[in-house]
């Protein structure tokens, strides 16, 4: 069975990180290597990571890199991508709780659909086409997540196995893509230090001729921005503004004035978007 590489970037939040890694190891049952990049967290998390050892026979190897300064998410994530050796590559935030079989099921979509370059799950606190509650309503598990999350995800998979929706953008908290995509498209753009990196990467993958899919049969729980929230509001606003300003400066002149950023990512009229939305989303209706 092929090796997958999982890259996790951490920043503070020891308890959240411990819970996430414990959950990841418990519910990932396909061969993988785990690469953890810490962005100069407080000493408590850094010391814990130095002694961390995944307790799973599926984890073929693991590596922890402790940065001496925080140069942003994209820079740290790229460190992990450079270290990766797997045929499939996963990027996972340290505040995401995965569910049983998540990696195997996401990879199955890439295998089944050669035109797919990257895939992401449905979930809680994930935006755009991956927002389960926004699309389908109430989720059948309790909060904080416990075994009811696993039960809900299992039922979802059994009912919608293999179902997917093509999308224009995948949110970066949980992504899986092919090695060939990394080789062709390259690393994350480090100009998007703490925002817009996922929108940029989604666009670059689409321009390279690949499709992006939301796996309707995979569900994860995203606690959402726990590392970001350790920054002051002023720092958060500054990083978000800088990232999106960089993104727009990079792309605004790449397309004609008739096509806006909204068209590139959200407009679903046939002129801009010819994707196939499958299964329960629109019952395989082509729009």
**Structure-block tokens of residue 143:** 């909060």
Rounded CA gap, 280 and 142, in Å?
24
What residues of the chain score a pLDDT lower than 70?
Answer: 225-232, 255-261, 264, 266-287
> What global pTM score does this model have?
0.91
pLDDT digits (tens, 9 = 90+) for 206-236: 989 999 999 999 999 999 765 555 666 777 7
pLDDT at 282: 57
Where in the chain are the domains?
Answer: 4-265
pLDDT of residue 128: 83
Token pair listed for 119: 């895939």
The count of residues in the chain is 287
CATH class of the domain at 4-265: alpha beta
**What b/e sequence results for 95-126 when a residue is b if at least 16 CB atoms lie within 10 Å of its CB, and e otherwise?**
bbbbbbbbbebbbbbbeeeeebbbbbbbbbbb
pLDDT value, residue 84: 98
Q: What local confidence, expressed as pLDDT, does residue 286 receive?
A: 41
Strands 59-66 and 32-38: parallel
pLDDT of residue 134: 85
């Amino acid at each position: 069975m092929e090796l997958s590489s999982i890259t996790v970037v951490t920043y503070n939040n020891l308890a959240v990180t411990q819970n996430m890694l414990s959950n990841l190891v418990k519910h990932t049952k396909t061969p993988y290597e785990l690469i953890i990049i810490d962005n100069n967290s407080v000493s408590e998390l850094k010391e814990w990571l130095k002694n961390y050892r995944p307790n799973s026979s599926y984890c073929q190897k693991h590596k922890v890199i402790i940065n001496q300064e925080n140069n942003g998410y994209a820079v740290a994530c790229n460190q992990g991508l450079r270290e990766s050796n797997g045929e499939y590559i996963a990027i996972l935030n340290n505040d995401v709780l995965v569910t049983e079989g998540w990696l195997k099921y996401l990879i199955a979509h890439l295998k089944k659909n050669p035109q797919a370059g990257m895939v992401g799950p449905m979930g809680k606190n994930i935006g755009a086409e991956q927002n389960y509650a926004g699309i389908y309503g109430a989720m059948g598990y309790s909060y904080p997540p416990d075994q009811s999350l696993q039960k809900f995800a299992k039922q979802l998979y059994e009912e919608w196995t293999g179902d997917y929706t093509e999308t224009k953008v995948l949110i970066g908290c949980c992504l899986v893509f092919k090695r060939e995509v990394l080789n062709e498209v390259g690393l994350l753009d480090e100009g998007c230090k703490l925002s817009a990196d996922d929108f940029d990467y989604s666009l670059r993958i689409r321009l390279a001729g690949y499709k992006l899919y939301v796996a309707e049969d995979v569900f994860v729980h995203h606690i959402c921005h726990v590392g970001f929230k350790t920054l002051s509001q002023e720092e958060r606003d500054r990083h978000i503004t800088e990232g999106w300003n960089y993104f727009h400066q990079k792309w605004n002149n790449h397309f004609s004035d008739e096509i806006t950023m909204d068209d590139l990512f959200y407009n679903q009229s046939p002129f801009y978007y010819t994707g196939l939305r499958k299964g329960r989303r629109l019952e395989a209706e082509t729009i």
